[in-house]
Structure 1
Amino acid sequence: MLPGPTNVPERVMRAMFTPMINHRSDDFVELYEDAVESTKKVFQSNGEAVLLSASGTGAVEASVINLIKNGDKVIIPVNGEFSGRLAQMLEWAGANVIKLETKPGENATFDQVKAAFDNNKDVKAFYCVWNETSTGTMIKYLDKIKDLTARNDSYYVVDGVSIVGGEEFPMDKWGVDVAMTGAQKAFAAPPGISPIVVNPRAKKYMEQNPPKTMYFNLSRYFKYYEEAKHTPFTPALPLLYAYREAMNVILEEGLDKRIRRHRICSDALYSGLSAIGLTPFAKEDARSTVVVALNYLEGLEDKTFRNTLANKFRVLVAGGFGNLKGKVFRVGCMGEVHRYHVMRTISAIGSTLDMMGYKTNSVEALKIAEDKLKSL
């Protein structure tokens, strides 16, 4: 129950057990083209998809070095570890970064974003970490940002590493120019493949202004795909097979049904764990549906709790980041999460707390969660 890597279906794991192929062969063209086209369907975009053999951070960095130049003005909400890292990447690229900083567990409001645009007419891009996994927060006004970026044709970039595939994301409809994710999160695939999707406007800019880098030069990927459906460098072939199968799983389930499942399971986790006596870390209007961050009970030691949960009940959850280390723990609600995962997690957490001397009402918590899960 980590916020990545998540549980991977057996059929996706089995897809990796395939004889090695030549990445300049017809077999590779079939594999890569299938994976690219499926990715575009999941992102709901007619743009260009590049499947990088890299972590999610690699795809995020690729968006920065291909789009941002020295002196460009960029607006970005910052409220946790990953949005802070992205702001740093932008600064390293030479950008004039306007940070909309809020406390962990809160999000900058849409009005604050609007005010930043009102006060900066020459903005080159708006960047955001849609789902801040370090704090369990999620921005809930992505559909409104295009009204701001349209003022001066600034670019709209969404770091969706931990949420695309687990929440609604009609990329083209929302006017997003560049977006990316990581396979090991809501896609429920092994880590190592990170797709980045670029719309025609951003693609044209990147081709006309290529960065001084080799591996993350997206214009090279565009060129190789257009000419032969190849990649410029050797990709992680076994992972691509698994990734393609994960895309098949998503599309077979259907995006609407998959998103509904994530939301129902999330509601059940929040409700059930709250009934045990745990409190969510993020403010209610900012809470993520795919990462449930919870405050520790007074006196509850982080490592002891998580080790007991793992060793006695075989349930893995994540600890806190940075200043939140030892203060919160995080439960992933993404990918393959279903009724079984929710009920087992609530039961295991309740039992662990009982073993550590905390009085909980796990029976009532499970009843509440089960009631939320009835519609699955």
Structure 2
Amino acid sequence: MMYPPEYLVMIPGPTNVPYRVMQAMLAPIINHRSDDFRVLHRSLQEKLKHVFQTENDVVVLTSSGTGAVEASVVNLVRKGDKVLIPVNGEFSERLARMIELAGGEAIKVKAPYGSIPSYEQVKEAYENNKNIKALYVVYNETSTGTRITWLDRVKDMLARDDSYFVVDAVSNLGGDDLPVDRWGVDICVTASQKCLAAPPGVAPLSLSKRAVKFMKDNPPNTLYLNLPRYLKYYEENAETPFTPALSLYFALHEALTIIEEEGLDARIKRHKECAKVFYDSLAKMGFEHFAEPSCRSHTVIALKYPDGLEDKRFRSTLANEFKVLVAGGFGELKGKVWRIGCMGEVNGYHVKRTLSSITSTLEMLNAKVKATTTPSLN
């Protein structure tokens, strides 16, 4: 079999995976109905609670992040439920569609791509609509490189209807501030292949006690994504109801161990510092940032193409000549925007190699580029 060359993967997920984590997948296969698995499972739960900053239950699905987001919807939203959702990109549009497919009424608070709905706009929509079942928020909109900046203010607002607070943190948990319990988040969703720096295929969710009670009292119409079923198996035997992706469990466990060794606060600080260097350096090169300064993501850098620089040629040259992968835009932003994933194990080496490769690519393509010096990073 022919394997592709090793790239520096600077897309918004999957991202670079540390060697230790890749090696962990070589552990022997074990019986998922055994004491060996139960030890792994319990340890994984505790490490995930640390990253979520929660004492709540955590469920781990063998799925993409999208599968876990859909699980949050089908387990909570029922026909006729009103669900408030800020919409400012492809992933929040997709989440609103999931809510509608589940029979809910998605009350959208829209903002132009590259910006976010303000807290005041969301609060006004909440006050103008009675009996809101839940507020769903895509914390970090991967398609536009924006992040919602007011999540710490939501808890008190939702007290009127005792509404649920659900956060899609697929592309920034572990790389941005998100104290689940302190911010009153009922369901928080993430995925292994982003800031956690593990291979794709595993998606954890944290569930508050009141969210769990609702799901148990109102069982969802699904089998594989039935979250109370997972909790039942966890409580009875520390097992999963279906066969888990064992190798990915071992990998995620090792990735979470690395996070503990670094320290969660230090990890979040590193993501922010690397993002700042990307933003500052690319602006000096002459690139215009897509996201507004007040709501720029710490984990996904989105940039506009200047006139004369063609998307496919730029990204393919960067990949073929320098083995650095960046992402294009999609949906209505296809060909207009390109994106850098600043997540996972990203550090000074990744930033400097990416920036120097971009500079060389622009020179090869005879594009205008300004010389810039990358600040010192560890």
TM range (shorter): over 0.9
Partner Cα separation in structure 2 for residue 113 and residue 140 of structure 1: 12
2:153 corresponds to 1:148: no
Q: Which residue of 1 aligns with 2:11?
A: 2
C-alpha displacement of 1:111: 0.2
Q: Which residue of 1 aligns with 2:27?
A: 18
Q: Which residue of 1 aligns with 2:200?
A: 191
C-alpha displacement of 1:175: 0.5
2:319 corresponds to 1:314: no
Q: Which secondary structure state, in structure 2, belongs to the residue aligned with residue 98 of structure 1?
A: strand
Q: Which residue of 2 aligns with 1:370?
A: 375
C-alpha displacement of 1:361: 2.4
Q: Which residue of 2 aligns with 1:171?
A: 180
2:289 corresponds to 1:280: yes
1:76-87 pair list within 5 angstroms: 76-87=85-96
2:211 corresponds to 1:206: no
After TM superposition, the score normalised by the length of structure 2 is 0.97
1:286-301 pair list within 5 angstroms: 286-301=295-310
CA deviation profile, 1:196-249 (whole Å, cap 9, x unmatched): 110111111111111011000000001000001000000000000000000101
Q: Which secondary structure state, in structure 2, belongs to the residue aligned with residue 179 of structure 1?
A: strand
Partner Cα separation in structure 1 for residue 368 and residue 194 of structure 2: 33
CA deviation profile, 1:128-167 (whole Å, cap 9, x unmatched): 1000000101001110011111122100000000000000
After TM superposition, the score normalised by the length of structure 1 is 0.97
Of 228, 233, 236, 1:227 maps to 236
2:134 corresponds to 1:129: no
Where do 4+ consecutive residues of structure 1 move more than 6 Å?
none
Q: Which residue of 1 aligns with 2:257?
A: 248
Of 317, 322, 336, 1:327 maps to 336
Gaps of at least 5 residues in structure 1 are none
- 1:218 alignment partner AA: L
- 1:147 alignment partner AA: D
Partner Cα separation in structure 2 for residue 134 and residue 7 of structure 1: 19
Q: Which secondary structure state, in structure 1, belongs to the residue aligned with residue 340 of structure 2?
A: strand
Partner Cα separation in structure 2 for residue 210 and residue 38 of structure 1: 28
CA deviation profile, 1:259-317 (whole Å, cap 9, x unmatched): 00000000000001111110110111111010000000101111100000001111100
Q: Which residue of 2 aligns with 1:39?
A: 48
CA deviation profile, 1:318-348 (whole Å, cap 9, x unmatched): 0001111100100000000000011111111
Partner Cα separation in structure 1 for residue 113 and residue 368 of structure 2: 29
- 1:158 alignment partner AA: V
C-alpha displacement of 1:359: 2.8
Q: Which residue of 2 aligns with 1:115?
A: 124
Q: Which residue of 1 aligns with 2:3?
A: none
Q: Which residue of 2 aligns with 1:182?
A: 191
Partner Cα separation in structure 1 for residue 350 and residue 221 of structure 2: 45
Partner Cα separation in structure 2 for residue 19 and residue 264 of structure 1: 38
Aligned pair count reads 369
- Quote the RMSD (CA, aligned, Å): 0.8
Q: Which residue of 1 aligns with 2:313?
A: 304
Q: Which secondary structure state, in structure 1, belongs to the residue aligned with residue 97 of structure 2?
A: helix
Q: Which secondary structure state, in structure 2, belongs to the residue aligned with residue 124 of structure 1?
A: strand
CA contact (8 A) 2:309 2:367 kept: no
Q: Which secondary structure state, in structure 2, belongs to the residue aligned with residue 23 of structure 1?
A: coil
Q: Which secondary structure state, in structure 1, belongs to the residue aligned with residue 284 of structure 2?
A: helix
CA deviation profile, 1:161-197 (whole Å, cap 9, x unmatched): 0000000110000000000101000000000000011
